Structures are given as C-alpha cells and as structure tokens.
C-alpha cells in the first residue's frame, strides 16, 4: 500500500510541478528577464564609475547556459523535479498521517497535508526570507543566506509537526475546535519569536559593513562620489510582482498535489466492496 501511495505522490507532484512551470513560464519569466536586465545595466553603470575612479574593472563571466535555455528548459526541469520531490515527501507524510490524525476522508487529509507542505516548506520561511529575483542578493552572503533559509524551513516544518501533535494531545480534553485553535496559536507564537530572533538579510555583518543597516539586500540606487544617483534602485513593483507570482506558483503546486493525490488516494483507499451507502460524500 505504501508503494502505491508513493507512486501516486510522484504522479501528483509531477502534475503540480508541470502546472507551476506553465504559470512560471508565463508570469515569472518576464519579471526574471527584467531583473537580469536591471542587473546588467547596473553593473555597466558601476563599471563606468569604477573606470572613472581608476579602479580595476572585472570582466563579466560567460554564461554556462543561454538565457533561452534557462528560461524554458531549465526552469521547466527545475519546477517539475521540485514538484516530484514535494509529491514524494507529501506521500510519505500522508502515509504516516493516514488514520493517525483523526477521522478524515482520504481527500480531506490530502488537502490538509498539502496545506501543511505549502506552509511548512515554502510560505512560513517565505514570510521571513522571501523569494528574490536575480539582481537581489550579495554574493558574499550566500552561505549565511542559504543557512538561514534552510534553518527557517527546518524549524517551520518541525514546529508544524509539533503543532499537529499538540492538537492531537489536547483534543480529548478541549475538543477538536479549541485544540486546533490552541495548536495554531502556539505555532504562530513560537514561529513569531523565531522570526524576531533570526537576523534579517540586510543585517548580516558583511552587509552592515558595506551598505549600512537595511532590512534586505535589495539594491539601493547607485550613486557617484558626489551622491548623484546614476542608476536607480531595484523597482519595488517588480519585486512585489515577482514575490506574488512566486507564492502563486507554490499555491498551484501544492493545490494540484492535494487535489490529484486526493482523487487517486480516494480510489485506492475506498473499500473494494463499496455499497451504495458509500455514496454519502
């Protein structure tokens, strides 16, 4: 049975990844291209400034893959493989939850696990360390940023599991509704404290040293030595659109996983000798 569930998880994940890829190709790619154009324009302006100041100018590295390849095949493969991986994790979580987290129909459980995956793996970490388009992010902080992001993902997942366990434990005493509310409240409080304690990306030592105190690594306007702006800061609307679409893609990904897996699991788990009574959906 677990093998059949895992297979269905992979299928649902592939479907979710495919839908998220189509969405990304249409909505995210124009934003990514514009961000890369901003990055190129900015570094050209920086080079002009450096040249005028007599500083050494670094030559740009050649691209390993063309933009066309990255924006079509690369993002497609990345999104679909990510979907399959999430589908696999989803199936594992579903199999463990099955029959252990209360009386839920196969499809209801599928949607709840999908919501958990969306929140735990993507959205809660996103609230602290949101997705950034190219041009945002300083090379020298990638190690710290990577660690902080993974720590956030890990903690949000562990706390989510803890919240479910807490809810289960409180249910006999407080009833389903109150236990659920209390578990959610506990999760929000603990994750909120964690978010307050972890540093914002702009506050990393390397950033404070070079750019001063800022919340993020979003590029500020480029100024010459007199303080005149020679190149604008990163477009706020573009950043908003990119992040909104990023959330949209994950909603689609997890939504499709929940729906497709729910349908497949329902067929698999429904008793073989289904009586007409089973039609009370």
Partner 1 sequence: MSNLSAQTTVPTTTSTTIVLPVSKAVLWLVGTAVLALLAYYFIGVDQGAYSIFGKDMHIHEFVHDARHFLGFPCH
First CA to last CA across the chain, in angstroms?
23
Q: Min. distance of Cβ 76 from partner 1 in angstroms?
A: 8
Q: At closest approach, how far in Å is the CB of 267 from partner 1?
A: 12
Structure tokens at 132: 């950034």
- Cβ neighbours of 192 (radius 10 Å): 11
Nearer of residues 32 and 222 to partner 1, judged by Cβ: 32
CB of 140 to partner 1, least distance (A): 10
Nearer to partner 1, 77 or 189 (CB): 77
Distance CA 163, CA 195 (A): 17
**Can you tell me the distance from the alpha carbon of 165 to that of 159, in angstroms, rounded to the nearest whole number?**
10
Q: Which is nearer to partner 1, 45 or 247 (CB)?
A: 247
Apex 32 CA angle, 127 and 86, nearest 5: 55
Cβ 253 to partner 1 shortest distance, Å: 9
**How many whole angstroms separate alpha carbon 278 and alpha carbon 213?**
62
> Whole-number minimum distance, CB 144 to partner 1, in Å?
8
Nearer to partner 1, 144 or 224 (CB): 144
Would you state the structure tokens that stand for residue 232, as one six-digit string?
Answer: 């604008």
What are the φ/ψ torsions at residue 102 (nearest 5 degrees)? 105, 175
Q: Which is nearer to partner 1, 47 or 72 (CB)?
A: 72
Q: Choose among 241, 246, 244: nearest CA to 35.
A: 241
């Amino acid at each position: 049975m677990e093998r059949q569930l895992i297979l269905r998880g992979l299928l649902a994940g592939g479907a979710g990844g495919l839908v998220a890829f189509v969405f990304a190709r249409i909505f995210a790619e124009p934003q990514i291209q514009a961000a890369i154009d901003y990055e190129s324009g900015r570094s050209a302006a920086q080079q002009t400034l450096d040249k005028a100041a007599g500083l050494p100018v670094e030559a740009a590295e050649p691209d390993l893959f063309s933009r066309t390849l990255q924006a079509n095949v690369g993002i497609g493969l990345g999104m679909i493989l990510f979907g399959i991986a999430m589908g696999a994790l989803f199936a594992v979580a579903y199999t463990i939850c099955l029959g252990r987290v209360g009386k839920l129909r196969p499809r209801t459980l599928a949607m709840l696990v999908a919501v958990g995956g969306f929140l735990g793996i993507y959205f809660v970490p996103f609230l602290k360390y949101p997705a950034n388009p190219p041009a945002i992010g300083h090379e020298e902080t990638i190690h710290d940023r990577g660690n902080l992001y993974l720590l956030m993902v890990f903690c949000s997942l562990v706390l989510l599991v803890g919240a479910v366990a807490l809810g289960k434990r409180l249910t006999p005493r407080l009833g389903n509704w109150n236990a659920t509310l209390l578990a959610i409240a506990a999760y929000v409080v603990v994750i909120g404290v964690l978010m307050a304690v972890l540093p914002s990306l702009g506050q990393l030592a390397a950033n404070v040293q070079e750019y001063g105190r800022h919340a993020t690594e979003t590029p500020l306007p480029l100024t010459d030595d007199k303080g005149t702006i020679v190149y604008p800061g990163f477009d706020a609307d573009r950043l908003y659109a990119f992040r909104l679409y990023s959330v949209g893609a994950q909603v689609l990904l997890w939504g499709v996983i929940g729906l497709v897996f729910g349908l497949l699991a329902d067929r698999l788990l429904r008793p073989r000798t289904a009586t007409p009574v089973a039609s009370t959906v």
